[in-house]
């Protein structure tokens, strides 16, 4: 358990909780702790899905600008890889991941939310990639994940202008998937994650890898990735149990073991 990032587990749901007052700025230490929490969530069999959460007040207001302000080019050449890796570690958790966004999710905070599979946002949430206002660009996946999520034109508008996006617009452009009262965001995200607590974990992993890896390549290669993942699931006990249960009792009644 890190000083500013911890993994809390209950009923099959792992919550990666950022807690660095006042604004959950993502420092080098927070990056290290995010990587560690993502690795733990990946390895633990009692974690079937993950919520990324910054608390009731703020998701994450960005990377620690004070820490970066005095960095040289040589410094950032070394630091930029670990910066990306911290967010990518969350994106590569092979389980369903939902970001519960309250308050601000700006810069690195928005990039962290983009690493989730879905995003639930509070009605008063504010998202954005304002790095251009600092004379830089998003450096932890924002130019890539945002464009893939909302399309290149909308992504360029947000990145070029650095403007902030309120929850209603974020929902309209597909940046978030649900908008909720602030008091309900975490509970709804946890409920979404909780539906997978007894699901076929290997099938979920294969589905996520097929979608994510397929988006990185051409259609033909993506179809081959899907074919291989599909066929591989026929070696699992869950596939056998799921199909037997369907034949004998109908859909939705199988008991899965994650094997």
Q: In this structure, what token pair is assigned to residue 249?
A: 């009792």
**pLDDT tens for each residue of 91-108:** 999 999 999 999 999 999
Which sequence spans correspond to the domains of the chain? 5-194, 201-249
- Regions of the chain short of the pLDDT cut 70: none
Q: In this structure, what token pair is assigned to residue 66?
A: 């004070």
Q: Find out whether 107 and 62 touch, Cβ atoms under 8 Å.
A: yes
Q: Say which DSSP state 45 is in.
A: T
pLDDT value of position 143: 97
Is CATH 1.10.12.10 what the domain over 201-249 is classified as, yes or no? Answer: yes
Look at the pTM and tell me if it is higher than 0.85: yes
pLDDT value of position 201: 95
What is the CA 100 to chain-centroid distance, rounded?
A: 10
Q: Which fold has domain 5-194?
A: 2-enoyl-CoA Hydratase; Chain A, domain 1 (3.90.226)
Q: In this structure, what token pair is assigned to residue 46?
A: 């009692």
Handedness of CA 48, 216, 27, 181 (dihedral sign): negative
Q: How far apart are CA 42 and CA 46, in angstroms?
A: 10
Q: How far apart are CA 89 and CA 87, in angstroms?
A: 5
**pLDDT tens for each residue of 106-152:** 999 999 999 999 999 999 999 999 999 999 999 999 999 999 999 99
pLDDT value of position 62: 87
Q: Residue 135 burial by CB count (10 A; 0-12/13-18/19+): exposed, middle or buried? A: exposed
């Amino acid at each position: 358990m890190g000083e500013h990032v911890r993994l809390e587990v209950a009923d099959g749901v792992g919550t990666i909780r950022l807690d660095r007052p006042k604004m959950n700025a993502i420092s080098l230490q927070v990056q290290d702790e995010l990587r560690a929490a993502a690795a733990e969530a990946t390895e633990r069999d009692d974690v079937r899905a993950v919520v990324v959460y910054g608390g009731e007040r703020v998701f994450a207001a960005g990377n620690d600008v004070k820490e970066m302000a005095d960095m040289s080019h040589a410094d950032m050449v070394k630091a930029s890889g670990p910066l990306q890796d911290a967010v990518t570690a969350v994106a590569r958790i092979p389980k369903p991941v939902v970001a519960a966004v309250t308050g601000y999710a700006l810069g690195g905070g928005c990039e962290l939310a983009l690493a989730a599979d879905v995003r639930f946002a509070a009605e008063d949430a504010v998202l954005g990639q304002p790095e251009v206002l600092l004379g830089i660009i998003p450096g932890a996946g924002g130019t890539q994940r945002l464009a893939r999520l909302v399309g290149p034109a909308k992504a360029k508008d947000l990145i070029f202008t650095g403007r902030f996006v309120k929850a209603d617009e974020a929902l309209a452009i597909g940046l978030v998937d649900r908008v909720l009262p602030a008091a309900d965001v975490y509970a709804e995200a946890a409920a979404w994650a909780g539906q997978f607590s007894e699901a076929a974990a290997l099938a979920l992993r294969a589905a996520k890898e097929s979608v994510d890896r397929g988006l990185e390549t051409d259609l033909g290669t993506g179809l081959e990735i899907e074919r291989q993942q599909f066929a591989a699931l026929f070696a699992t006990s869950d596939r056998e149990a799921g199909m037997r249960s369907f034949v004998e009792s109908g859909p939705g009644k199988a008991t899965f073991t994650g094997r």
